[in-house]
C-alpha cells in the first residue's frame, strides 16, 4: 500500500521504518527538507504536493496542534491539494479543542480525518507494538486498519469526535505520575543503602511492576536521558490535560503538580531530554 507520512521526528521516523518493513510504500514530507532527503524514502516539498500523489492515506506525526493546523491549512498545506476520498490519520497528541475543527476542515476538503494518538514511543513503534486510540468515521477506520495493524498491537476505535484525544491526555498524566513516583522511590532506596540496580529489581517485582519501569530501567541505570519522549512534549501534554480538567470544572490536583515538576526538570536540565530525567531533579534536591 502506498502511504503518505508527514513528520520525521523520532517517533515519525520509527513509524516510517516499521511501515517500510511491513511492505508499505512511503512518500514523506518533513518541514526540514534535509531530513526527508536523507530518509531514503521518496519525498515531496510540501503537504499540498503530497495530497496530489496517489496515496489513499496520509499519516501526520508532528509536535502539537499548531503544527497540525499549519500542515492542513497553511500555504501549500494539505487542503490546497486533492483530499478527495483520502484518509488523514493524525497521530499527533493534540489539544482537545482543536480536533473537532480538524475533522471539519478535512471533511470540507473531501476527505476523512481520523484522530489516532499513539501510546508508546520509539521502541514500540519500531516493533509494531504501539497502542492506538482512534476517533472518527467507522468506514474510514476500517479502510485504514491495515496501517493501524502494521503499527500497533492494541487498537481501539470510538466514533465520537475528540474521545481518542482526551483519553491520550489522561493516559499521559498517568505516565508522568508513574515516572515521577518511580524516580522518587529509587532515589529514596539509594539513600537508605540500596544500589540503583537493587532498587529497580525489587520494585520491578513489587508495587513498581509496570511497563514504564521496564521501558525506562536502562535510562535510570545509565543516566543516559537521550530522548524517546521528551520532557518538552510531556509538559505540553500536561498543559493540555490541565485545560481539559478545567473545561469541566475539575481541579487538576495531581496533573497540575506534575506539570510543575516536569517544567522544573526541563528548566534545570534540558527540555529535550527524555522525561525520565525527572530522576535527576528528584535525586539532586
Quote the strand ranges of 111-266, DSSP E.
112-115, 118-119, 130-135, 152-158
First to last CA, the chain: 52
Is 154 among the residues known to form the active site?
A: no
How many Å apart are CA 265 and CA 277, to the nearest integer? 7
**Out of 168, 217, 236, 259, which one is annotated catalytic?**
168
Cell of 42: 521518496
How many Å apart are CA 134 and CA 138, to the nearest integer? 10
Provide Rg for the chain, Cα atoms. Answer: 20
How many Å apart are CA 200 and CA 162, to the nearest integer? 37
| C-alpha distances in Å from residue 23, one per residue of 16, 26, 30, 147 | 11, 9, 21, 11
Nearest to 81 by CA among 117, 45, 33: 45
How many Å apart are CA 134 and CA 155, to the nearest integer? 8
Q: Longest C-alpha distance within the chain, in Å?
A: 64
In contact, 31 and 248? CB cutoff 8 Å: no
Q: What is the chain's length?
A: 285
Which of the residues are catalytic? 168
Amino acid at each position: 500500500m502506498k502511504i503518505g507520512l508527514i513528520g520525521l521526528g523520532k517517533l515519525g521516523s520509527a513509524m516510517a521504518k516499521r511501515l517500510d518493513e511491513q511492505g508499505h510504500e512511503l512518500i514523506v514530507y518533513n518541514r526540514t527538507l534535509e531530513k526527508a532527503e536523507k530518509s531514503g524514502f521518496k519525498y515531496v516539498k510540501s503537504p499540498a504536493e503530497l495530497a496530489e500523489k496517489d496515496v489513499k492515506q496520509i499519516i501526520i506525526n508532528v509536535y502539537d496542534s499548531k503544527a497540525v493546523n499549519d500542515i492542513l491549512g497553511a500555504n501549500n498545506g494539505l487542503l490546497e491539494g486533492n483530499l478527495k476520498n483520502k484518509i488523514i490519520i493524525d497521530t499527533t497528541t493534540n489539544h482537545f479543542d482543536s480536533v473537532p475543527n480538524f475533522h471539519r476542515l478535512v471533511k470540507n476538503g473531501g476527505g476523512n480525518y481520523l484522530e489516532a494518538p499513539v501510546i508508546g514511543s520509539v521502541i514500540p513503534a519500531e516493533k509494531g507494538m504501539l497502542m492506538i486510540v482512534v476517533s472518527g468515521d467507522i468506514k474510514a477506520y476500517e479502510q485504514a486498519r491495515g496501517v493501524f495493524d502494521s503499527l500497533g498491537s492494541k487498537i481501539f476505535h470510538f466514533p465520537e469526535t475528540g474521545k481518542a484525544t482526551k483519553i491520550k491526555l489522561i493516559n499521559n498524566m498517568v505516565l508522568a505520575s508513574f515516572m515521577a513516583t518511580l524516580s522518587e522511590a529509587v532515589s529514596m532506596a539509594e539513600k537508605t543503602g540500596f544500589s540503583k540496580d537493587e532498587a529497580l529489581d525489587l520494585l520491578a517485582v513489587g508495587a513498581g511492576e509496570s511497563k514504564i519501569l521496564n521501558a525506562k530501567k536502562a535510562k535510570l541505570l545509565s543516566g543516559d536521558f537521550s530522548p524517546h519522549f521528551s520532557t518538552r512534549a510531556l509538559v505540553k501534554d500536561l498543559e493540555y490535560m490541565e485545560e481539559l480538567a478545567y473545561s469541566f470544572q475539575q481541579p487538576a490536583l495531581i496533573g497540575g503538580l506534575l506539570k510543575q515538576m516536569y517544567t522544573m526538570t526541563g528548566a534545570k536540565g534540558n527540555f529535550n531530554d527524555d522525561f525520565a530525567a525527572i530522576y535527576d531533579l528528584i535525586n539532586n534536591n
